[in-house]
Chain A
Amino acid sequence: MKSKKWPEDWQDVNIGCIVSNPGSAREYHTGGWRAQRPICDNEKCIKCGVCYIFCPEGCIIERKDGFFEANLDYCKGCGICAHECWPFAIKMVEEG
């Protein structure tokens, strides 16, 4: 189960489906699930970090300039950051 994304056959499934290579969730890009993406208006952002705390995916990072940005490889588009951002800086925009 090391390098491959899925075990090839049922015989290759780890006992109890344990995942023994730490951080392997990184290999699965949940960004593919997204229907809407969060767009931040940095004019309104006060750099409070509430979005960073609430993102269930843990994919929001703090940039050097203090603003926050979602890593779209992993952002599922759940909209929680937009809902929690109290200065209303984040808007959810349809993909595509």
Chain B
Amino acid sequence: MGERKGMEIALAAAEAAALCRPDVVAAYPITPNTHVPEHLANIVSEGKLDAEYICVESEHSALSACMGASGAGARVFTATSSQGLLYMAEIMSIASSMRLPVVMALGNRALSGPLNIWNDHSDIMSQRDTGWISLFASHGQEVIDMIIQAFRIAEDADVLLPINVNLDGFQLTHVVEVMDFPSQSEVDAFLPAYKPFASLHPDHPCSMGTLGLPEIYSEATKAREVAIVNSRKTILKVWAEWEKAFGRRYEPVESYKMEGAQEAIMTMGSMGETAEIAIDALREKGIPVGLLKLKLWRPFPYEDVRKAAKGLKSLLVLDRAVSFGGPGGPVASEVRSSLYGETDRPAITNYIFGLGGRDVAVEDFIKMFEKMRSGDKKRSKDQYEFYGVRGE
């Protein structure tokens, strides 16, 4: 049996990773994710986990070390945030192209500049197109669960792709929450040992990460795209098995009070928790509104979004990042492309909010909802708007 206890979520992320018995951990500390590698270092030094803990000199090295170890057949784990992720950027695409199942806990933090250590989603959005599977947790329990699930998904013979599990910096990493920790035997039963598809071994020589000339690059790229699109099947299979084993349900798009809803708000990450309270308040006033929480960012769950949006009159999509000079928020952009071909589709409003740690309260969700409903003429022409920015 597992155990229910209160703990800081970053520490819980490290505990969850340790339960997965990684062979190699290579990470470089960075706010707000420092406690993840720090706590794992403690776990290893206390002899509770038989892993090689590599104190690398940078994030570039952290991911590179993980990939080398993964290539040799090891189960690997790393953690980072923001600028650290950018320092890994050169390696991110290589990890997915080499099909190495690296698991990363990504404590989301705004990108500089101006220099800011607080939470938004600009870090992961900058690495959106690197071919990693991306999961978004909205509270501590999901962080634990998703890290364990991530190893199963990443290492599945039908997937073999790296995964980042996104947990909002501070709002999740530094918050103490009561969570259920599965026992070691439960995790062992859920997560079999990693069987590498090939490994760097002198008895079976092979080369990994070789040059891809123009004659092969296009085919290799298509194979990668098909692999990540197909990973959806395994993600759903693993989530179904998780529900069976632990009783907690996971879906690409989670619904909250969507019964009979004509309008809905969509969030990704920890803001969904605050938004739930706002939905409760609006429902109490008799407004048929629900919440959609996006858990799977890549591969993007187009069909689930279409299903969830069916019958809605309007949908307010909230983004914690902006694609400068582009379509506004990255989540809204995907939601819009999901629904473009539908005849019966909701009007979509996109607000960009909660940037660089800007606090967002329950009342803000209500205000955003009311703002969307006010039918402001200026807004309907705009693709998106910043919410809560002074000087509106």
Closest to A7 in B: B219
Q: Is B293 an interface residue (CB 8 A)?
A: no
Q: Is B216 an interface residue (CB 8 A)?
A: yes
CB interface residues, A 11-66, toward B, < 8 Å = 11-13, 15-20, 22
Residues from chain A with a CB closer than 8 A to the CB of B198 are 15-16, 18, 20
Complex: how many Å from CA A33 to CA B220? 23
Residues from chain A with a CB closer than 8 A to the CB of B204 are 20
* Additional pairs, 9, CB under 8 Å, beyond known A13-B220, A17-B210: A6-B219, A7-B219, A10-B220, A15-B99, A16-B197, A16-B208, A18-B208, A22-B205, A22-B207
Closest to B215 in A: A6
Number of A-B contacts (CB under 8 A): 53
- Categorize the interface residue count of chain B: 20 to 34
Residues from chain B with a CB closer than 8 A to the CB of A95 are none
> Distance in Å from the Cβ of B92 to the closest Cβ of chain A?
15
CB interface residues, B 203-226, toward A, < 8 Å = 204-210, 212, 215-216, 218-220, 222-223, 226
> Distance in Å from the Cβ of B269 to the closest Cβ of chain A?
30
Cβ-defined contact, B210 with A19, below 8 A: yes
Interface residues of B (CB under 8 A from A): 97-100, 160, 197-198, 204-210, 212, 215-216, 218-220, 222-223, 226
Closest to A16 in B: B99
Complex: how many Å from CA A15 to CA B100? 10
Contact of B98 among A6, A13, A17 (CB under 8 A): A17
A-B contact pairs, 27 of them (CB 8 A): A5-B215, A6-B215, A6-B219, A7-B216, A7-B219, A10-B222, A10-B223, A10-B226, A11-B223, A13-B216, A13-B219, A15-B99, A15-B198, A16-B99, A16-B100, A16-B160, A17-B97, A17-B210, A17-B212, A18-B198, A18-B208, A19-B210, A20-B198, A20-B204, A20-B206, A22-B206, A22-B207
